[in-house]
Structure 1
């Protein structure tokens, strides 16, 4: 017989090394054997067979805790080195079943109770021969009995045969272990003796189970006593016994008449009781019918209450949405009622204006459900928003009027903005327009909030800017007239202009014509730009004043590519510029405002 892999000391050392490498401490390899993992008998496995090594390990605790036993499944890596694959605790082992479909009897399944929840069936293990199978199973039973003090259920194998095999092979196995362990210390021998004792105990338990079954069978057979000789005699005997029994029954019936009367009286009493019970049942049935009606009524009321609860929940959600619309953020209220209009605060002011415009729009039909329009809370909130709007428009209008006036006063007080003696200076309003653009979006929101507030603002802007334009025209005309009266003296003209000396013999009419031409060249584009800027800045819904195809002076200075685009155009909700209508009713208002803006400047053109 070929040597079993269970006796391979090299295999046991390799298993011990793999267990130690996995991080387990204190585990001793008690048994190791090569198996095949598959679904059929060993000779027919083919590619489905997976070589594995089953190792039984024990862990002895020195702290008074119970010893532990494990079943480790090891597989071969690519370098033919054993490495741990699975770990099972023997305390969960409940069944050892030999597969009946394998005629060789070498395939078995180990059932663990902690794996019942898994949908995948437990693996089947196939041994090389019956001796290897018995040796592995007996070792498992031995460890369960020694450490765990119980035996799992054995299915598909005769426990008597297993006990007889263990009895015959225990001595051989012990001799092999003693031969393999020669030279070891006395403690190892003592451990071997303990294992042999445990094996004998397992054998006795298995034999005891078999004997108990035999004794139960004998007891069952002893209860079946056969005292029959011949069939005819047995039949005659049965007939005689039947006649005797019938006679005895008739005699007993005659003697039991009082008992029968007592039984009849009991039946009458039971009948009366049954009638009473029937009456009670009818009463209970009536009460139950009333109870069903009451329950139906209660269910109906509960359904109504449930529907009312759902409606109340929906109403609360709608009211919360409405209250969210009616809530005024504290930061916006502060900006609208008392915030500063400095440049650093303009972004917050614009955000407050946008919120106020949206809030007013949300409280109007069709943005608000018509059923909410006449609610007291909505009316009060609309009045509060209207009050905020009036307060903000008033504050912003007053600020802008003062701002325009102070801005122009500052420029008028600074002489560097105007022409000086001996030097003509082109009027430059770039800084003025830059500062005004800071409040362009504010003017747009003021127009959306209260269009009537733009009239006073436009008038204030025209009056302030008219003072500046008239001062610039007067200073420019005075300096130009002074240089024209004394042509012999060199005059300093505009920056970047030709400074070539004038011919002393030129006619006075030519000099005056040149001066008038210069005046027109400088101021006409300036006035056109100012008129166009004023129309856009003050939110007039009219076409641009710059002629078609002409470049936009403001855009040319800022470096923009599109001459028809600027920062002051009104935009729709999609961010596109609103193109004004050529037939707008504001065209007449714009002409009146421009006349007020340019009033009095023509005098300085006639005095050149």
Structure 2
């Protein structure tokens, strides 16, 4: 007989290696073939060792878990390298059935049924053993494990239990041992050990030894050759009756023994009752003891928890006390320390500690449960007292410090402009000294924002005195050192005469002085605004570089970065848009206090320049516009307002000059009679030329508005003067409009506003010429052209053939008119020329006017000749060509 794979030590060690780390112990391992079962098909078709069979190893394993033992059925397969690896695992407690496949005649194929399989619709796999011994060996091992561990056996289908018992007896030697129970009874236990060291223990067989002997005796009788079943049955009945009789007899004989046994049982029952009573007493005592133990454990747990809590509380209190402790060096510095420059580092450190200490006692830095504790309240009050004391001392010091700095500078005259020397204001030393306390102001803001208001006012009040003194001294010396001859403001007055040299004085140094005033002080004021905004902790955006485009000398390089205090923004997280808007409003209000009053000195320079040369207002206006375009409406808002006010003042002064000049023009109409070209016409050309020189590409609107007002007044005044003497009105108009065009021809080509008035004068000139020429022509040829007008009027109502029969329009009347008007026509034409020449004061206009007059007369005569040819075709008059030749010869 071949050796079974259950005895293969190498196989068992391979199985143990495959499940290493699972804390399970291999009880048995055996090789099998696996084939998939199919419902409704014969298992024989799958055949042992068929194409569908796969080699597997079944292993029984156990695992101890305290007092309990768990049993498993493991399925292991061979990997590609021939190494065993786990495939499936089943718990034996779920094994419900062991069934031998009936279609396998060898009986070596069986299935295992488990009650916890998820899919019952799939047929369980078929396990095929090499022989019946291997099958019985595996099944007996499973049964023994189920008895010992689970206390029950699975259902067996297709296997004879008696046959299995006989096989187990033949293949397992028995060793009988006795075990004593608590009740004194003896239990026989059979332990089967396989010859090949199976390590499978069979503790209780399927049948007892006595039953097995009876079965052997019975089977021996059957083997001895009983021929007929009926005879054998009769024999068994007789033997059964004999046995029953023997049993009854034995029972009767054993009555005394039974009585003794009953007495023994009664005594044992009494002992058991006593034992039960004692156990009840012990149970009560144990229950009380258990309750005491639980109470002790509860108190012990509470004590341990209290100990842990006390330790945590001590640690937390130590941290809190560390927060509440005030270092004595900081307390001394905050309450009575000096603010000298050498001590500022200690003051800043004390401020930083105080700020962090106050914040540390506020939510969320401090746990809310501590907020209302007495110690925290007292310490918070103490810190608030320290804060108020320090803020009061620092504010008082800074107010006095600002005032002392400015007083020192004002008392030293070398800081300001003096006679013969313009002094550029220099605040570098002042700002350097202020920067020493910039960080202190930051901390004062974080400690108490309300304290900054009085400090800002004190700084503004002190520095305002210095700035106004500097501006006043500078402006006074600037005006004193500027030499310029004064130009009269009588620009357009007719009584001045023809000489215009009085307006040719060079006054450019006046506007240069104004530009120098702006160049020096506007960047200074912007720098001061920027420095003040940052020094006094206003949360506003950074300022643009001071000054505008094309500025002379630029801004002061020494002060270019004066607004950079080299400090960090402590309250950076508080910068919000809405807050910045309110901060900007507060800053502009403070800047008004800082710079208010300084505009008076700028106004004085503007007024001085106006008195010297009013036209310099144009240059100053352009200079101011350039500075305005270079300033943004930011923290230097007051500087923008100052420039706007200067621009308005310059515009007002220039408007005053324009009004005075217009008044001078209007005075001309009060004269008795005006002949020739009015004086303000050429003077306006001179004035416009000078104004264009002062514009230099700027202040175009200002000058255009002045032009509009000047010309409007000039033309209106001219019309009034002309209306005063209707006889010579057209002559006055055409001469002045012609003079206006001649004097402004060059400027009108480059100045759109003057070009518009040039065209207006041209139209007025043409109209005046037409009217004057018509008067002269009608004066000498009135009858001729009145006759023509009558004909033209009748042609609207009657036919041309009927006109010669109208009263006063007959052929005879025509001959009379022609004879009286055209007889000696050359003399009449010469009279027209003399009439045109007689009242004209501008001789240069005569040729053009005479040409216009001849053309107008020829046009009128041509119309008359056409009417005569149409109405009086038989009448002869001088032809148009003859009249044209006559005029050409004159």
Higher relative contact order (CA 8 A, sep 6+): 1
Q: So what's the TM-score if we normalise by structure 2? A: 0.32
Larger radius of gyration between Structure 1 and Structure 2: 2
